[in-house]
């Protein structure tokens, strides 16, 4: 059974996070939700409040996840968007290292809305790849990466794609925003559980 870690920091986008968790679990994917502390705090909480004041209880805290998974990374990781959720994820050094390690190993790295620009860009994994994000955030990469020069280096030969629900380039899946969460989630299901399972869930959930 495939295993996915979903990282939730204060201010995460609820639709993007929970739609993906729900559909992956319908596909019998082993999903672990992991609470990540805010950038200005070391306090780890089981309960994480999203950008629209919806509070969820994560399966585990980041420190517990690190201890349990060291040397045995999941098959995929997912970083939902939302602000300041994406900024909180981007400030976490462990996640920076995990993202690059997953990519080097050819494992699936998924991010949506703000997170492709705010979190993934600075790691360099979008270089020479096609990707998408929340409209307009692709214009602020110098801010998210820390400088114009660094943004140019880590995003060299990348291509932002507009007006699409998601983009899959090799092992990196990026999504546009909350209104495309269902389409993004179903692509995630297809990648981890197969096309037959994706069709079964699509039809059973009355998707158009």
Rounded Cα distance between 138 and 97, Å, is: 22
Residue closest to 18 by CA, chosen among 28, 3, 33, 29: 33
The question of whether 113 is a catalytic residue gets the answer yes
Beta carbons of 180 and 166 less than 8 angstroms apart: yes
Segment holding 45, helix H or strand E: none
Q: For 144-200, give the DSSP string.
A: HHSSHHHHHHHTTT-EE--S-SEEEETTEEEE--GGGHHHHHHHHHHHHH-HHHHHH
Helices and strands per DSSP (H, E), number in the chain = 9, 11
**Facing residues of 174 across strands?**
111, 167
Residue closest to 7 by CA, chosen among 69, 102, 101, 88: 88
Catalytic residues: 113
């Amino acid at each position: 059974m495939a295993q996915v870690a979903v990282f939730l920091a204060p201010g995460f986008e609820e639709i993007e996070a929970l739609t993906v968790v729900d559909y992956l679990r319908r596909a019998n994917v082993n999903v672990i939700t992991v609470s990540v502390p805010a950038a200005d705090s070391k306090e780890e909480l089981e309960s994480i409040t999203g950008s629209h004041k919806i509070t969820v209880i994560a399966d585990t805290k980041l420190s517990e996840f690190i201890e349990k998974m060291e040397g045995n990374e999941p098959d995929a990781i997912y970083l939902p968007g939302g602000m300041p959720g994406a900024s909180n994820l981007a400030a976490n050094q462990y996640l920076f290292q995990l993202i690059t390690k997953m990519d080097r190993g050819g494992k699936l790295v998924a991010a949506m809305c703000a997170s492709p620009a705010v979190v993934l860009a600075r790691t360099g994994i979008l270089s020479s790849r096609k990707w998408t994000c929340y409209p307009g955030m692709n214009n602020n990469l110098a801010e998210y990466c820390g400088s114009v020069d660094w943004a140019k280096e880590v995003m060299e030969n990348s291509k932002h794609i507009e007006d699409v629900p998601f983009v899959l380039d090799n092992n990196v899946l990026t999504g546009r925003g909350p209104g495309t969460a269902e389409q993004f989630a179903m692509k995630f299901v297809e990648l981890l559980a197969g096309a037959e399972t994706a069709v079964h869930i699509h039809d059973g959930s009355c998707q158009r």
